[in-house]
Amino acid sequence: MQRLFLSKSFVYGYCLMPIFFFAKEMKRILHILFAIAFALVAILPANAQNDTIVQRVKLHGISIIPPKHFEHDSSSNRIFHQGTMTSIQIQIVTKRNFKRITSAITDKYMQAQGLEPLGKQTTTMQDGNEAIIYRCRFKSHDDKGNELYFIRLMLFTGNENTIWATADFPECIAKQIERPITSSIKTILSEQ
């Protein structure tokens, strides 16, 4: 009986080569799948502009129709979207008209608070009341120390009492999420 002698180069070259090729292709496929998954998480809230939840969420005397895929956190008086690090908080400032409060919000004041002013817009709420929305930018850091820029929208409305809504979201997804967030905060109603 004759022994078949296989050299190392034969074994590595012809027998293990498909395994290495497969591993390399699997890595490439996994990268593509992760990219697709990340893109889906980032665009989910973008669908909210046409598919807002009809049910109102009540937050301490105020109600809002949140964007699609947002969750209500009753312990912190906010609604949020975990996948995009987006949140909306609402407060009431009693016995102060929103125009009085907004007259004190200047660019200099915002800069002193660590915010970069990007604009101010007078708008109309869904219920017909007047409101002002400030748009600004600020820098934060993640767990690893990387810089992240966020956009903050601050909406002020109300008559005797001011309703103050603050929405924060990463600047990198502003094109997808700012419109549904703005539509949502315009649905705020005082339940008092």
SS3 assignment for 78-128: EEEEHHHCEEEEEEEECCCCHHHHHCCCCHHHHHHCCCEEEEEEEEECCCC
* CATH number of this structure's domain 43-190: 3.40.1000.10
Alpha carbon distance 183, 84 (integer Å): 17
Token couple for 136: 């600004």
pLDDT digits (tens, 9 = 90+) for 17-69: 555 555 566 666 655 655 555 544 444 444 444 444 457 787 767 889 999 89
Alpha carbon distance 98, 82 (integer Å): 30
Mean pLDDT taken over the chain: 80
Question: 187: closest CA among 70, 93, 99, 106?
Answer: 70
Entry pTM: 0.71
Domain boundaries, the chain: 43-190
Give the type of residue at 49. Answer: Q
Mean pLDDT calculated for residue range 120-145 = 94
Percent over 90 (pLDDT), the chain: 53
Alpha helix segments (H runs only) across the chain: 8-10, 17-43, 98-102, 107-112, 174-185
Alpha carbon distance 58, 104 (integer Å): 29
Kindly compute the dihedral angle of the four CA atoms of residues 110, 188, 57, 88, in this order, to the nearest 10 degrees.
-20
Q: Is the pLDDT of residue 190 over 90?
A: no
